Copies of this chain bind each other. A is one copy, B any other.
Amino acid sequence: MTLAAVARTAGVSVSTASLAFSGLGPVSDATRDKVLAAADTLGYSGPDPRARSLRQGRSGVVGMLVENSVIRAFRDPVNVGMVDGVAEVLGDAGAGVLLLTDAPHARSAFDNAAMDGMVLSGCSPLVAELLESLRRRHIPTVLLGSRARPGVPAVDVDNLTATEQLARRLAELGHRQAATVTLPLDAAGTQFVSPALLAGAGGDTAADRLRGFWSVFPTGVALAATDSTVEEGERIGRLLLDRVDRPTAVVAQSDLLAAGVVRAAEGLGLAVPTDLSVVGFDGIELQTFTSHALTTMRQPMQDKGRTAARTVLRLIEGGRPRSVTLDCEFVPGTTIAPPPP
């Protein structure tokens, strides 16, 4: 069934039939009805999206890349929130979201899919390579959660300042011995993070948050997690709390990590916040504790997604949108207190 066949049956030209479907051009009601009736008779269900997208040079699809597998990415509500925001804005624009991961087996889909634009979230080590591929294909791209590059705007929060604010609260409470649990900093999964390693790292989320921490606690120990999960937080938390120079406060770079640190502390018989202060980052709804409300910095996950989607839409239309930095909001919580005497 083609538009041509419908037009023939309706006794009109294809272009008229096309206009009848798109509703864009001036078509008399009578003609439109004739066309629609013919379509109905023939079981024609509207223009073929493939042909339409070839003709228009648009597919109505925007890719969204998340790190790792779908299941790992969506274990973190931050990613879910961002995808939700992207889907919302794109849906309103009549576009669809092609969900992609940076897993090797998804590479072929990434390379061959018809996309009008791309939202690259995360700071996967593959980002540079993927960006290069997108550049060659002239696919407008927005980075979500990493720093802008020439010609590629980014949407993010000010991770450095936000973390600095959290650290400063701890300092103001009297903490001198603070440590931090960072998100993965390099592909190698190095655990003990030195300033030298940080210097070599890019402008990623983990690096910026670490800089914010170190700007307040320049000698604070930093251990990197391999993933943003409660389990990893607990593992690294135990490592930190077992040290002879046990910290009195821990800045975790995500709420999930922070929840793990709290759990590690309680496992060792330490009370939070009396014996140990813990802060997180993200402001997700943690169902892990009922007894604590995590002190953290809430980032606008959905807004990040929405803004990224709007930005990529503008890019697709040929605009030159600028990078956007969104604000975080301090969530007081109940997991910080002055250090034990």
Whether the pair B87, A101 counts as a contact (CB closer than 8 A) is yes
Indicate whether A105 sits within 8 Å of B81 (C-beta atoms), given known contacts A53-B114, A54-B50, A98-B96: no
Whether the pair A105, B80 counts as a contact (CB closer than 8 A) is no
Indicate whether A96 sits within 8 Å of B80 (C-beta atoms), given known contacts A54-B54, A114-B114, A287-B287: no
The residue that A43 contacts in the complex, of B50, B63, B136, with Cβ under 8 A, is: B136
Whether the pair B106, A91 counts as a contact (CB closer than 8 A) is yes
CA distance A109 to B58 in the complex (A): 13
CA distance A66 to B115 in the complex (A): 21
Look across to chain B and name the residue whose beta carbon is closest to the beta carbon of A133.
B45
Whether the pair B112, A49 counts as a contact (CB closer than 8 A) is yes
* Interface mask (A48-66 → B, CB under 8 Å = 1, otherwise 0): 1111111001011101000
The residue that A84 contacts in the complex, of B63, B70, B230, B290, with Cβ under 8 A, is: B70
- Which residues of B lie under 8 Å from residue A91 when comparing CB positions? 101, 103, 105-106, 108-109
CA distance A288 to B259 in the complex (A): 12
CA distance A90 to B192 in the complex (A): 38
Separation in Å of the A76 CB from the closest CB of chain B? 10
* Interface mask (A12-39 → B, CB under 8 Å = 1, otherwise 0): 0000000000000000000000000000
Whether the pair A92, B105 counts as a contact (CB closer than 8 A) is yes
Whether the pair A136, B45 counts as a contact (CB closer than 8 A) is yes
Whether the pair B75, A80 counts as a contact (CB closer than 8 A) is yes
- Which residues of B lie under 8 Å from residue A61 when comparing CB positions? 61, 98, 113-114
Indicate whether A99 sits within 8 Å of B101 (C-beta atoms), given known contacts A70-B84, A80-B74, A114-B49: no
Interface size bracket, A side: 35 or more
Look across to chain B and name the residue whose beta carbon is closest to the beta carbon of A135.
B45
CA distance A133 to B80 in the complex (A): 28
CA distance A73 to B70 in the complex (A): 14
Look across to chain B and name the residue whose beta carbon is closest to the beta carbon of A285.
B75
Cβ-based interface call for A95 (8 A): yes
Indicate whether A50 sits within 8 Å of B57 (C-beta atoms), given known contacts A80-B74, A91-B101, A105-B91: yes
Binding site for B on A (CB under 8 A): 43, 45-46, 48-54, 57, 59-61, 63, 69-71, 74-75, 77, 80-81, 83-84, 87-88, 90-92, 94-101, 103, 105-106, 108-115, 133, 136-137, 230, 259, 263, 287-288, 290, 302
The 4 closest A-B pairs by CB, nearest first: A71-B84, A49-B114, A96-B109, A91-B106
